[in-house]
């Protein structure tokens, strides 16, 4: 942010570590460390902060709180954007998962998940709990 904007800057972060590093970096003297990449980043931060001509302000906001106010609301929205996306399985996998918990009948599976009668029957046929209660399927036809 300090490299990108040379205008007055408000930096709002939910990382106490980031806020603390930025607050301490401006007037600090760096020692060499064994981690060259970290040293280079801190050196660049110190340079950018000391050479700024416009003011900046760093604010630490506690994350995942239900505090009122526009800053906490903005933080909640940012948190929602970073949540992992969950990919739902296809319809048949959803139906299998649902049936393993609720044990719906074939008609219910067919309506709820848009399955064919055969797909719904196959899900029920392989369910170990439902096999205990099922009757053998007689082929369709005329009753003798």
Within this chain, do residues 16 and 66 fall inside the same structural domain, yes or no?
Answer: yes
Buried b (16+ CB within 10 A) or exposed e, 77-95: eeeeeeeeeeeeeeeeeeb
pLDDT by residue for the chain (144 residues), tens digit each? 777 777 888 887 777 777 888 888 877 788 877 888 888 888 888 888 888 888 888 877 776 666 677 777 776 777 677 666 666 678 999 999 899 888 899 999 999 999 999 999 999 999 888 877 666 655 666 666
Within this chain, do residues 75 and 13 fall inside the same structural domain, yes or no?
Answer: yes
| Any domain includes 3 | no
Please give the structure tokens belonging to residue 29. Answer: 């003297």
- Domain holding 72, by residue range, is 9-81
Cα–Cα distance for residue pair 95/107, rounded to 1 Å? 12
């Amino acid at each position: 942010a300090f490299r990108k904007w040379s205008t007055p800057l408000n930096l709002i972060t939910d990382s106490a570590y980031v806020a603390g590093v930025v607050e301490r970096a401006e007037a600090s003297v760096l020692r060499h460390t064994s981690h060259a990449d970290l040293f280079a980043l801190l050196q660049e931060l110190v340079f950018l902060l000391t050479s700024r001509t416009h003011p900046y302000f760093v604010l630490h906001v506690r994350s995942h709180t239900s505090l009122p106010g526009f800053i906490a609301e903005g933080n909640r929205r940012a948190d929602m954007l970073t949540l992992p996306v969950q990919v739902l399985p296809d319809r048949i996998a959803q139906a299998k998962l649902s049936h393993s918990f609720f044990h719906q009948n074939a008609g219910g599976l067919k309506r709820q998940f848009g399955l064919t009668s055969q797909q719904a029957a196959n899900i029920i046929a392989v369910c170990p709990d439902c096999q205990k209660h099922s009757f053998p399927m007689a082929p369709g036809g005329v009753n003798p």
